Structures are given as structure tokens and as C-alpha cells.
Structure 1
Amino acid sequence: MRSAAPAARPVAGPPVRRTVALLILVAVVALAFAASLALGSRWVGPGALWHALVADSGSDADVIVRNLRFPRTVVAVLIGSCLGIAGALMQGHTRNALAEPGIFGVSSGAAFAVVLGLQVGLVESVSSTVWAALAGALLATFGVQRLAERGSGASPVGLALTGAAVAAMLGAATSAIVLLDANTLDSYRFWAVGSVAGRGLDVAGQVLPFAVVGLLLAFVNARDLDLLALGDDVAAGLGLSIRRARLVGLAAIGLLTAAGVAACGPIGFLGLLAGHVARRIFGARNSWLIPAAGLIGATALVLADLVGRLVGGAGEVQAGVVLGIVGAPLFVLVVRRRAVAL
């Protein structure tokens, strides 16, 4: 009887520590959310912040918090979570710590659809931009899947190489359109930098169904991804359908990235950052890694938007620019440590 108790501790210990770490991440997201509401070109104290949230009297502080800061912060939490989880899934399916959702051509597909819509006059508002980006992102995602299946059976390397090729092709087509049309370039450049500025709760509502489906597929795919990490042969021997697991994972990546790109434009490095940090903290167990990456992604985008507002003076630095400045050194750090294969 004495030997049974010590044997249970190693099993119970890690989940407890991971649960505590996950709760800490939830608290960090809440603190980042509160800081985003309070800080900016004008400081809003705790009392005024609480009043603005529970009782709108029409004061300047109420308008700033309720109409300007609260909607963009909600969008940042939603989109940051989507892109963070998409990054973790992408790294798991390609078995490459340098992978991020853009490598599947999803961002390039969304950008091409938006530019094409601007060119022909179908994209004239934020709402139409969202739908055009969603359509382009999803078409690019499943196009990559079909091409990879024909060439290499949708292996991790095949998916990555096919995605990179599709992204390059769509990027070139997008550049050709915007360089030949100054009006399209002028409209496109504000969307392409990646930002939550001007995004309201209406935008969040439009992409929410896609985000919810993508999140559900991501959690369904978590156990399959753990088996795939053992190798395709071992996973198949354990009864896993490799093709189904890849398809579900790719669908989740496509939906989550499409929602993010459609709402805020192509935001680079967020998936890389969230997936890599979550893996360092929680290891390779995807049932923990996926929610952790979502929380880290939400925190990162909220803080990037906040930093952009604080350092921008009268204007603001877009969140995509802030994340690019942070993400590029991180990318170099990962390469220097040779943490390429998972």
C-alpha cells in the first residue's frame, strides 16, 4: 500500500502545474485587457473605467472606453487567440518550430482576394473586405491541401513546400495588381499592414462563426496531433486516419487564420511567437499547448496594439508593425538555437 502513493505523484503533478500555468495566462490576458482600456493618449482611472463599463453617461471617458478601446480590444483578444492557435497547429502538423500560418498561403490568398475585390469594385467597406478575405483565405488553404495530396500525400514537408509556392505565386499576383493601379494600392496598403484600429464589434461578429468552428476543430485535432508526433507509421498503426487528421488540422488552420486576416489584415509572426512560447512552457501535449497558444496570442496582440498607441504620439503604430519588430528577432533566435524540428 505504501508504494501506491509515490507512484501517483508524477502523474498528478504535471497536470496541476500546467493548470496553474494556464490560470496565470488567463490572469495575464485579463490584465492586458484592462491595461488596453485604461491606457492610451488619455489615461482612464479605475473608477472612471468601471463607470464607463457599467453605466454610460456620455462623458469623454465613457466614449473613449466604450466606443473606441473596448471594441478593438475584444477584436484583439479574439483574433490573437485564433492566430496563436493556428500557429501551434501549423508547427505541429509540419513538425517545424519555424512554421506559422502564412506558410500555407492563407494570408496571401486573403490579400489577393481583397485586392481583386478592390480592383473590380466589389470591396468598398470593412464588411465586404472581411468576406473577400475569408473567401480568398479558405480557397488558398484547401487549394494547398489538394496540391499537396497529389504531389506528396500531404506530408509535413509537402504541405510546407506547397504552401510556400502558393504564397509566392499569390503574393506576386497581388503585387502586380496594386502596382498597376494607384487607387487599389492606396486602399490596400492600410489593410495590409495588420491592425485592430477601427475594427468594431460588428467585425468581430462577422468572423466569430468561422473562429468558433476553427477552435472546435483545433481541439478535436489535438489528440490526433499527439499521435502524429510519433510518426505517420506509428499513428496509422494505432488506428489513426492520417488523411482525416491532416484535413481536420488544415481546416482549423484555414478557418482560424482566415478569420484573423479578414478582420485585421495579415499579421505576421504572431502564430510563430505564440506557438513557440507555449511549447516552451507546456511541452508538446497539444491538449494543453493549444489553449495556451490561444491565450499567449491574445495577450501578444492586445499588448502590441497598446504599445503602438503609446509610442505613436498623436497617431499610432499599427499592431502588425510592432509584432514584426518583436517577431523578427524571435525568428532569428529560434534559428540560432536550431529549434527547427519538433
Structure 2
Amino acid sequence: MSTAVVERPAPGAVVEARRGRVVGLGVLVVVLAATGAVSLAVGARALSPAEVWHGLFAAPDPDQGLTGIRLIVRTVRLPRTVLAVVAGIALGVGGALIQGFTRNPVADTGLLGVNSGASFAVVTVIAVFGVTDPFRYVWFAFLGAAVAGVVVFGLSSIGRGAGNPLTLALAGQGVTVFLAAMTTAVALSDQKSLNALRFWNAGSPAGVGFDVIRPVAAFVAVGLLLALTTLPSLNLLDLGADVARGLGVNLALSRTVGIAAVTLLAGAATAACGPIAFLGLMVAHVARYLTGPDHRWLVPYAGLLGALVLLVCDIVGRLVVRPGELDAGVVVALLGAPFFAVLVWRGRIRSA
């Protein structure tokens, strides 16, 4: 009777792999910072590095306040850049988490219905209450996203299929279709809601000030803290539900915390920017390719890649149709659709 010998990687190889991942994180941070600087300089009016520096750090005239370049940099481009980074991190981490907890390689944060919940809330408050200020309806958008996520998770937790990733996907799809139909019905009955939905649904970090970014960043920070607590159990869950349970993982608690984290991250990002499709799906796969299946590395990589991709797409959107702009959500979708097709194509080859 022969016994199989499991070869463990040499300690030197493990250290080298860890060093490579740390270097990769550092490179992503540097590239993200450089891209942020480019974002401050690019727009309908191009600014030089000296002008960007002046706009950021020069003291405003006490009599005239912010004028000229300072006004452009501090009230338009800086908030836009910061929100792209915050929302990109949230959607990237959320995409990696939802794929891990559902064990579904094509899962996205929209699976929980947060996009459709936010959209329905926005058109409803505009139609019923006449709210048009982003600072006011962003709260309703976040509330709609959170309620949709809770409903989807609640539906997937009852019955004989409770806790099954397929049940979660079916519940999410059902709630998404229902809310999309209700959103269309409300928007078509009110012109203001239709106009707001048309622009908000495109997805963009533009036009939002720090009064909105601050509370959104707070929700994202809470979501990131919850996400960090789930990473060890998520690694064990990759071995299978039975194995994870045998190793002491409380599956119900872990999934509840994970789904709460995804709802906070995706809900906050969607409330501020509008729905941005494919971002979480794309960067999670790229991060997995770079780091392997260890979520302790995969999730930080996905967050930084999400911020970088959203920021680059926002910059591209400002350049391709100058002096106009193409919303970042549209650019991400143009990039994400072929990426999704490649994933399906590769999956078919593997299954053949």
C-alpha cells in the first residue's frame, strides 16, 4: 500500500512569493498616486504640474476666496479623483468578496441587488419628494441599496436551499428584475425622475462634493473593516463548506458578515457614483491571477486595482470626446463587456 507524499513549498519560495506580493502592492500604490496626479491635470482645460500644485496648496485670497485654477482643482477635480479612488476600492473589494462567498467566478456586486435598489430609491424620492440635491438623494440611494441587499440575503437564507450560493444568485436576480421594472415604471411617469435616472445610471464620480464623499468614505471604511475579519474564513471556505465547517468556521456568521461588508461597500459606492458594471468582476480576476487564491492578498490587490481602473476610465472619458466627457461607467462597461466574454470563452475551453 503506497502513500502519497505531499510536497510543501520550500521556505525560501514562500518568502520570495510574499516579497513579490508586497512589492506588487507598493507598485500599485505608486501607480495609483501618479494616476491621481494625472487626474488633477486632465480635463476640458489641461493644467501643468505647477498649476496643479498651485491649485492644491496656494492660500486663497481672503477677499476673493477660491478663483481660477484653485476653484477648478479644489472643487471639481480633487473631489472627483478622491471619489473615484474610494468607490474603486469599494467595488474592487466587494467584487472579490462576493466571488469568494458565492464561489461563483462571474459574480459581481450587482448580484445582491444593490444597484437596482439604489436606482429605485433615487427615482422614487425625486418623483415623490422632488429631491434633486445629490447630498440628499445619496442617502436614499444608500438606503435603497442596503434594503435590497438585506432582502436578497434574507430570501436566500430561508427554505431548503438556505445558504446555497445558487439560491443567493437566484434571489438576487429576482429582486433585481423586480426593482428594475419598478424603477422604469416610476421614471416613465415622471420627467424629472427620468432625466435624473438617465444621467445617474451612467455612473460617474463627477459632480459630487466632499459633503457627499465624507459619509460615503465612512461607510466604505466600515465595510473594509468587516471585510478584513472575513478573510481567514474565506480562505477556508475555498476548501469546501464541509471542510471549513470541520475546521471550526461558523459559516452562517461568516457569510452574514461578508454579505454585510459587500452591501456597505457596493451600496456606498453606488449611492455616490451610480451603478458601475463589471468593475468588481474584472479586477477580482486580475487580482487572482497576480496573487493566487489567498484572499489575504487577493482582496487588497482587488481594491487597489479597482481604484486604478475606475480612475483611468474616468480620465479616458474626459479625453476621448473633448471638450465633452464620456461617463466613467460607460468606459468601464466598454472595457468590461469583452473581458466578460473572454471569461466565458476560457471557461468553455476548460470544460471541453
Fold-level match, TM-score > 0.5?
Answer: yes
Task: Give the structure 2 partner of residue 227 of structure 1.
Answer: 236
* Displacement of 1:298: 0.5
Q: Any residues of structure 2 matched to 1:57-96 within 5 Å, and which?
A: 57=60, 58=66, 60-96=68-104
Task: Give the structure 2 partner of residue 299 of structure 1.
Answer: 308
* Displacement of 1:38: 1.4
Secondary structure of the corresponding residue to residue 106 of structure 2: coil
Q: Any residues of structure 2 matched to 1:154-303 within 5 Å, and which?
A: 154-303=163-312
* Displacement of 1:340: 11
CA contact (8 A) 1:98 1:340 kept: no
Secondary structure of the corresponding residue to residue 150 of structure 1: coil
Amino acid at match of 2:179: L
Q: Any residues of structure 2 matched to 1:107-118 within 5 Å, and which?
A: 107-118=115-126
* Displacement of 1:279: 1.0
Question: CA-to-partner distance for each residue in 1:95-150, whole Å, 9 max, x for gaps?
Answer: 12211101111111111111111121163311121110111111111111110011
* Displacement of 1:24: 0.8
For 2:34 and 2:59, the matched residues in 1 are separated by 22
TM-score of the pair, normalised by structure 2: 0.92
For 2:67 and 2:117, the matched residues in 1 are separated by 43
CA contact (8 A) 2:204 2:328 kept: yes
Task: Give the structure 2 partner of residue 30 of structure 1.
Answer: 33
Amino acid at match of 2:35: A
Amino acid at match of 1:44: L
Inter-CA distance 62–183: structure 2 relative to 1 (3 Å threshold): closer
For 1:296 and 1:187, the matched residues in 2 are separated by 29
Task: Give the structure 1 partner of residue 339 of structure 2.
Answer: 330
Indicate the RMSD between aligned Cα atoms, in angstroms.
1.7
Task: Give the structure 2 partner of residue 131 of structure 1.
Answer: 139
Inter-CA distance 7–191: structure 2 relative to 1 (3 Å threshold): closer
* Displacement of 1:42: 2.1
Are residue 104 (structure 1) and residue 112 (structure 2) matched?
yes
Are residue 21 (structure 1) and residue 24 (structure 2) matched?
yes
CA contact (8 A) 2:80 2:207 kept: yes
How many aligned positions are there? 336
Task: Give the structure 2 partner of residue 3 of structure 1.
Answer: none
* Displacement of 1:94: 1.4
Secondary structure of the corresponding residue to residue 302 of structure 2: helix
Amino acid at match of 1:23: G
* Displacement of 1:218: 0.8
Task: Give the structure 2 partner of residue 43 of structure 1.
Answer: 46
* Displacement of 1:255: 0.3
Secondary structure of the corresponding residue to residue 327 of structure 1: helix
For 2:52 and 2:189, the matched residues in 1 are separated by 47
Unmatched tracts of structure 1, length 5 or more: 1-5
For 2:259 and 2:127, the matched residues in 1 are separated by 29
* Displacement of 1:206: 2.1
Inter-CA distance 142–29: structure 2 relative to 1 (3 Å threshold): same
Amino acid at match of 1:65: V
* Displacement of 1:35: 0.7
TM-score of the pair, normalised by structure 1: 0.94
Amino acid at match of 1:285: D
CA contact (8 A) 2:111 2:173 kept: yes
For 1:234 and 1:321, the matched residues in 2 are separated by 42
CA contact (8 A) 1:86 1:271 kept: yes
Unmatched tracts of structure 2, length 5 or more: 1-8, 61-65
Task: Give the structure 2 partner of residue 153 of structure 1.
Answer: 162
